[in-house]
Amino acid sequence: MGQPTNLPATLPNLPTVKSQDQLKQALQLFDSTKFNILVPAAMNFSSPMHKVAFELVFINPEVDAKNNGPDIYSTDGGKTFTFHAKAANKIAGAAGINWNDSKAEEVQYDTGGRVNTVQHQVMWSIKRPNGTTRSGVTTGSYNYAEDSARFGKAQADSRRHFALQLAESNAKYRAIFDALEMLPRQLKREDFAKPFVVPCIIEDISDMIKDDPEMKRMVVAHSLGITDQIYGPQTQQREAKVDPNLIQGARAEVVDDPKPGVTVAAGGELKFDLKTETGYKDSWALKSTDERDAELKRLLTVKAVEFPAGTIFGELAVARQVDALWYYNGLPAPDKKAPFPWEKGGQA
């Protein structure tokens, strides 16, 4: 049987890398004439907890007669184009930019109490594969006089009601280019028809906890939001101050089911109903990548299907691995031919 064509959306054919050699190989998959590659050729992979996933972002290249479209626009008569804020935010979201603070620094009004100018500041951060965080502060602005010159008085008066929001949007727009140094501000229109390959740092601690059952249970408890039920009501406050490895709170004697498919027995033991999606996925999330890989191979054999070419299962994020297992687990087994009369089970 050939490659399935209805794989879940959470299982894209995109690489996830955790070393410079893997990064080099992955970049060879993308032809620069067909993709806008925002991934640097070299990264520092010194943290075993962090990997780099590749995300594709599609920008609509269509524009009207005035060179303005839903995602891009031009200020030089169509020679070059740049992103609307909505389109830039698509790329920011894929890259994992965090907005840590956002505030208006200075607002000036006219004699009628209407906003004339706004200075807005945003603080942002973005993870690096070496475990560190790159951060910065970017300022944006709104100016009613400039708005009037650009849009005309009627439209500028309408926009004036949203002056504070426009200043914040301008600050975030500028910050996106500050945070993503490889993102060009201007491109030719035809270049926007090519998908943008955006790097995103993801955390994967499965290798670090694969031999520690207690840490596995702690990670699942945290992800399910049931830390209090297993480790005591004050655990979340202590987590902010103490290494999770050192937490030893008393376990609850009677607990409620955290969600369908997962139950917590007295003493804190997690039990999974493998017939439910939640129970099945959370059960396999606790296991190691090698165990999940072995289960995938078993399922592929039983279901007589193939894994997508070019995708390395072990390099996918844990969530994507368990999505794949659940998908293949739900496929029907191939029909077996009826036995001949002389075979066991056949009728003479």
Q: Quote the mean pLDDT of the chain.
A: 80
Interval 152-200: pLDDT, tens: 999 999 999 999 999 999 999 999 999 998 999 999 999 999 999 999 9
pLDDT of 202 reads 86
Last residue of a domain, one of 181, 203, 225: 203
- Which residue range forms the structural domain that includes residue 73? 16-203
In a domain, residue 111? The reply is: yes
> How much is the pLDDT for 316?
77
The last residue of one of the domains, among 186, 203, 220, is 203
Do 171 and 228 belong to one domain?
Answer: no
Same domain for 190 and 223, yes or no, is no
134 and 231 share one domain: no
Q: Which pLDDT belongs to residue 251? A: 32
**Domain boundary pick from 185, 203, 221:** 203
Same domain, 41 and 177: yes
Query: Same domain for 212 and 172?
Result: no
Residue 3 lies in a domain: no
The tens digit of pLDDT for each residue in 94-138 reads: 999 999 999 999 999 999 999 999 999 999 999 988 888 999 999
Query: What's the number of domains the chain is made of?
Result: 2
Residues 230 and 294 in one domain: yes
Based on the domain organization, do 157 and 27 belong to the same domain? yes
Nearest to 58 by CA among 36, 32, 30: 36
1 domain-assigned: no
Answering whether pTM is above 0.75, one says no
Residue 33 in domain: yes
What's the pLDDT at 345? Answer: 52
Residue 42 and residue 152 share a domain: yes
Classify residue 310: in a domain, yes or no: yes
Q: Taking residues 310-330, what's their average pLDDT?
A: 81
Q: Give the residue with greater pLDDT, 342 vs 330.
A: 330
What pLDDT is attached to residue 249? 34
Question: Quick one: 148 and 212 in the same domain?
Answer: no
